[in-house]
Amino acid sequence: MSAGKEVELLPSFAVVGRPNKGKSSIVATLARDDSVHIAARAGSTRATRRFPLQVDGTTLYELLDTPGMQRARQMLAWLKTDCTDAAARPAAVKRFLEAHSHDEQFTDECLALRPIVNGAGIIYVVDGSVPFGADYEAEMEVLRWTGRPSLALVNPIGNSEFVEQWCAGLGQYFQTVRVFDAHRAEHGKQLDLLTLFGHLDPEWQQPLQRAVELLEADRHRQHQEAAEIIADLIYEGLTYTVDQAVPEGAPETPVRKLLFARYQRHLIKRERESRNRVEELFYYRELHKSEQGIDFAEEDLFHQQNWYLWGLNRRQLLIAAGAAGGVAGGGAGVLVDGMTGGLLGGLATLAGGIGGALASTRSALKYSDDIARWSVSGVPTGGNRLSYGPSRNANFPFVILGRAMQHHRLISQRTHAVRAALTLTQPALDWLDEKERRHLARIFDSIRSNKRVTEQRAELKRLIQAWCFQVDAG
């Protein structure tokens, strides 16, 4: 098949109807595009805009957001005067567009109908919260004159009081009528709509069937990758620490406050990054959120205080302790000064001088107090290393999980027509049964204790994936 033929068979749908009846909301939902402009005032769409739905760079179909038709009765009168043969009605519509292409009176009608006469299908949108009226029949008749495949959507804006009226009236003009709430239509209902359209035109059946298959696979990928992001966030919450060396004699309280702030900022930032990545998975780029922050309790964090020597690791400290015992005999107040090659080089020299003096960790560490009093070129090397995290609170990973799963559920069930801020309140975990809670607690404890981490992370990811997929289970 040539590239030109592929473009020709690409299904496109013109979303038409009166102003302020939810056309742009339908487009945003079916195109999965939150950049579609939606405004409360009538007539906010003033030009036809194209919104392709793409998966992995492949365009599956195209939605066209059109201005609202406002002079259908005058147009229908012109058409009836121009044509009396039913078979010639599509040609009459084309002649109308040619005759009125520069007529400001029919600008909206020309913009809405031009993509239809060029081959687009029709999605006619009405508001199910207002009564059906005979004055709508003129625009429905004009659309029927085009001869293009069509369906009508009753979009209940606010309430569904008059939906039955609309379904009865629309059925006289359109091949298919469906109730479709652009703000609440779940993923499966969107796919059902595409399948319906595939039955309206034989040329569309195969590309739209392929579109449904790709969208189902993409949905699976979204849940799967979201679970991986959430599992990685929980792992970091279980293992993240921050520490800081404090010289001997320096006040520790300001350092403690600084460390606690750094600990909080890091995990808050990581949660925000994880949420942004999940939103991008579900094609949200302009989302506003209203949320509560993580409640960190300082007393739940583990504070570790150790003597230290210029940031040396444990092995280097053992070497230093052995050197102190071998060279200075454990005497207090030893001055190591004027060493060449820097501190590490000096320690290596000292360690080399004692050979195999290190008999055990216990014998080496007994000289730690002496090392803490060392100075190099007059700079004291003793002091404490303060460490914050990871949180030892058993509920902390459950809090991170609950917040992440609430966010995933709201994002994956939200349609792109919704413009209200995403409200993230304090999450609950009542969807977990007691067996799952105990299983999770064991996983969290193992990860925190650095036991079978690879295995436990894989199990955590598997559980979260299963809960993510449940969103679409009904």
Q: Return the minimum-mean-pLDDT range out of 74-88, 343-357, 414-428.
A: 343-357
Residue 317 phi, psi (nearest 5) = -65, -35
Asked if residue 221 has pLDDT above 80, the reply is yes
Q: Report the first-to-last Cα separation within the chain, whole angstroms.
A: 39
Q: Using an 8 Å Cβ cutoff, are 345 and 336 in contact?
A: no
424 — pLDDT class (breaks 50, 70, 90): confident
CA distance 377 to 343: 10
**What average pLDDT does the structure give for the chain?**
81
Where residue 42 falls (left for φ over 0; alpha for ψ -120 to 50; beta otherwise) is beta
Lookup: tokens for 10: 């690409």
Query: What is residue 39's predicted lDDT score, i.e. its pLDDT?
Result: 63
Lookup: tokens for 367: 């000289």
DSSP state of 428: -
Query: What is residue 292's predicted lDDT score, i.e. its pLDDT?
Result: 75
Listed in sequence order, the residues at least 6 apart from 76 whose beta carbon sits closer than 8 Å to its beta carbon are 138, 141, 142
**400 compared with 335, residue with greater pLDDT:** 400
Q: Using an 8 Å Cβ cutoff, are 439 and 60 in contact?
A: no
How far is C-alpha 464 from the geometric centre of its chain's CA atoms?
16
Asked if residue 105 has pLDDT above 80, the reply is yes
Asked if residue 383 has pLDDT above 70, the reply is no
**367 compared with 138, residue with greater pLDDT:** 138
Q: Return the minimum-mean-pLDDT range out of 349-358, 366-375, 404-413.
A: 349-358
| Per-residue pLDDT reduced to its tens digit, 163-177 | 999 999 999 999 899
CA distance 78 to 109: 13
* Parallel, antiparallel or unpaired: strands 58-65 and 12-17: parallel
361 — pLDDT class (breaks 50, 70, 90): very low
Q: Over range 387-399, report the average pLDDT.
A: 86
Query: What is residue 260's predicted lDDT score, i.e. its pLDDT?
Result: 86
Asked if residue 380 has pLDDT above 70, the reply is no
Lookup: tokens for 312: 């040396």
Query: What is residue 326's predicted lDDT score, i.e. its pLDDT?
Result: 44
Q: Return the minimum-mean-pLDDT range out of 26-30, 179-183, 234-238, 381-385.
A: 381-385
Q: Return the minimum-mean-pLDDT range out of 235-249, 259-273, 341-355.
A: 341-355
Sheet hosting strand 176-179, strand order edge to edge: 49-55, 58-65, 12-17, 121-127, 150-155, 176-179
Q: Using an 8 Å Cβ cutoff, are 7 and 58 in contact?
A: no
Q: Over range 135-139, report the average pLDDT.
A: 92
393 — pLDDT class (breaks 50, 70, 90): confident
Element (H, E) at 387: strand 383-391
Which range in 316-320, 337-341, 358-362 is most confidently predicted, on average pLDDT? 316-320
CA distance 112 to 44: 14
Query: What is residue 364's predicted lDDT score, i.e. its pLDDT?
Result: 42
Q: Return the minimum-mean-pLDDT range out of 44-48, 87-91, 134-138, 143-147.
A: 44-48
315 — pLDDT class (breaks 50, 70, 90): low
| Secondary structure (DSSP) of 187-207 | HHHHHHHHHHHHHH-HHHHHH
**372 compared with 26, residue with greater pLDDT:** 26
Longest dimension (CA), the chain: 116
Residue 381 phi, psi (nearest 5) = -110, 0
CA distance 85 to 162: 35
Closest by alpha carbon to 237, among 215, 260, 268?
Answer: 268
Asked if residue 253 has pLDDT above 90, the reply is no
| Secondary structure (DSSP) of 132-193 | --GGGHHHHHHHHHT---EEEEEE-SS--TTHHHHHHHHTTT-SEEEE--TTT--HHHHHHH
Query: What is residue 56's predicted lDDT score, i.e. its pLDDT?
Result: 85
Asked if residue 313 has pLDDT above 90, the reply is no
| Per-residue pLDDT reduced to its tens digit, 191-201 | 999 999 888 88
Query: What is residue 300's predicted lDDT score, i.e. its pLDDT?
Result: 63
CA distance 448 to 392: 8
CA distance 44 to 57: 30
Query: What is residue 348's predicted lDDT score, i.e. its pLDDT?
Result: 40
What amino acid occupies position 449?
Answer: S
Q: Return the minimum-mean-pLDDT range out of 245-254, 391-400, 415-424.
A: 245-254
Listed in sequence order, the residues at least 6 apart from 141 whose beta carbon sits closer than 8 Å to its beta carbon are 72, 76, 173
Listed in sequence order, the residues at least 6 apart from 388 whose beta carbon sits closer than 8 Å to its beta carbon are 241, 242, 243, 256, 259, 260, 262, 263, 301, 302, 303
Q: Using an 8 Å Cβ cutoff, are 110 and 101 in contact?
A: yes
Asked if residue 376 has pLDDT above 60, the reply is no
- For residue 459, give Cα distances in angstroms to 63, 118, 350, 464: 41, 53, 48, 9
Listed in sequence order, the residues at least 6 apart from 444 whose beta carbon sits closer than 8 Å to its beta carbon are 234, 238, 394, 397, 398
Architecture of domain 3-200: 3-Layer(aba) Sandwich (3.40)
158 — pLDDT class (breaks 50, 70, 90): confident
Reduced to 3 states (helix: H, G, I; strand: E, B; else coil), residue 422 is strand
- What pTM does this model have? 0.80
Ranges in the chain annotated CATH 3.40.50.300: 3-200
